[in-house]
Amino acid sequence: MDRFLFLTLDGLSRGAVYAAFALALVLIWRAGRIVNFAQGAMAVAAAYVAYSVTAATGSYWLGFGAALLAGLLLGAVVDVAVMRLVDHRSPLNPVIVALGLVLLIQAVLGMVYGNEYLPARAPFSRTALTVGGTAVLSPYDLFVFATVGVVGAALVWIFTRTAIGLRMRAAAFAPEVSRLLGVNVGGMLTLGWALASGVGALAAMLVIPTGLGLHPYAMDLVFVSAFTAAVLGGLDSPPGAVVGGLGVGLLLSYVSGYAGGDLIPLAVLALLLTVLLLRPGGLFAPVTARRV
């Protein structure tokens, strides 16, 4: 029972990160009908910026801020310099270009930093605190929950309570009408990319200290898991992404706890296959589901 409780809490903490990353995917999907397959590579690039800044200044938090800033900037640059130039008539094109970005970003990171695992520092202890003899959450888990919670709340606030959020929603929902009403649709799309990439960078900062360390390919499996989470919740639904992320986190925690960590990719594939075959619109799909 203790083990189950521990795995559940660990899974929720892991799931919070997947939720954040899935949220980043959903943001871009809603803004431009693109699944950003380069999200993982872009997030790793931001994490490497944090590594450099932390190494130069000795401060974790300066690095953390630098990663978020780098994430925002990278998202905007990718949209303006690459994605906007792509012919969007075939849905394959943006996917292929994003995969090209994956190769390019990972190769550049490998050239600059090398393909070895670099140590990634966690700002808080990762040893679980015990309550009444049972190991529960570590301070780091609490930090993860708090950060993802704050980011989620901030996104909700931006999209529902601010003028710029309204413009972003309008630009995604009805680009032509919004343009007539004076909304800078292209700018809103770029802003959406920047926000999503920033959230992705944050997720990478949270997840990398829990794994083997910093590596150009560190986010590949996280990306697949987060994509599964986003599909589980329905690619169109931000609350769905959060629920999907927590669900995937729980599943993977149980699988690695009871069956072995090597089975994680298999479990992700099985879950993704099941969701796509049984309920391709996701758990939270509206009635007029999008054909996938």
Partner 1 sequence: MSATRAAASVRAAAVDPARRGRSLPTVVRHLVVAAGVALLVLMVSYQLDSFRNFQLATVAAYLCATAGLTVLTGLCGQLSLGHGALMATGAYTLALVQNAFAERGLTAGGLLVVSLVVAALATVVVGAVVGVAAARLRGPYLAGLTLAVAVVVPALTVTFDGVFNGEQGLAVPVAPAPAGLGSYFPHERWQLWVATVATLLCLVLLANLVRSRYGRSFRAVRDDEVAARLAGIHVARTQVVAFVISAGSAGLGGALLAVLAQSVSPGAFGLTLSLFLLMAVVIGGLGRLAGAAWGAFLLVALPDLTHSLTNLFTLSPAAAQRLEGNLPLAIFGSTLIAVMIAAPGGVQGLLSRLVRALRARWPAGRS
CA distances from 47 to 42, 141, 212, 271 (A): 9, 19, 14, 28
SS3 percent helix, strand, coil of the chain, rounded to 5, is 75, 0, 25
CB of 94 vs partner 1, minimal distance in Å: 9
16/102 with CB nearer partner 1: 102
- Which H or E element spans position 134? strand 134-135
CB of 216 vs partner 1, minimal distance in Å: 8
1/81 with CB nearer partner 1: 81
91/286 with CB nearer partner 1: 91
CB of 285 vs partner 1, minimal distance in Å: 13
121/279 with CB nearer partner 1: 279
Print burial letters for 273-289: b (CB count within 10 Å at least 16), e (below 16).
eebeeeeebbebbeeee
51/143 with CB nearer partner 1: 51
What is the CB-side half-sphere exposure of residue 68 using CA atoms within 13 A?
11
CB of 200 vs partner 1, minimal distance in Å: 16
Handedness of CA 218, 219, 225, 229 (dihedral sign): positive
CA angle (143, 238, 236) in 5-degree steps: 150
CB of 107 vs partner 1, minimal distance in Å: 4
- Which H or E element spans position 69? helix 60-81
78/171 with CB nearer partner 1: 78
> Which residues of this chain interact with partner 1, rule CB under 8 A?
34-35, 37, 82, 85-87, 90-93, 95-97, 99-108, 110-111, 114-115, 217, 220-221, 223-224, 227-228, 231, 235, 260, 262-266, 268-269, 272-273, 276-277, 280, 291-292
Cβ atoms of residues 168 and 188 within 8 Å: yes
- Which H or E element spans position 160? helix 139-161
CB of 14 vs partner 1, minimal distance in Å: 17
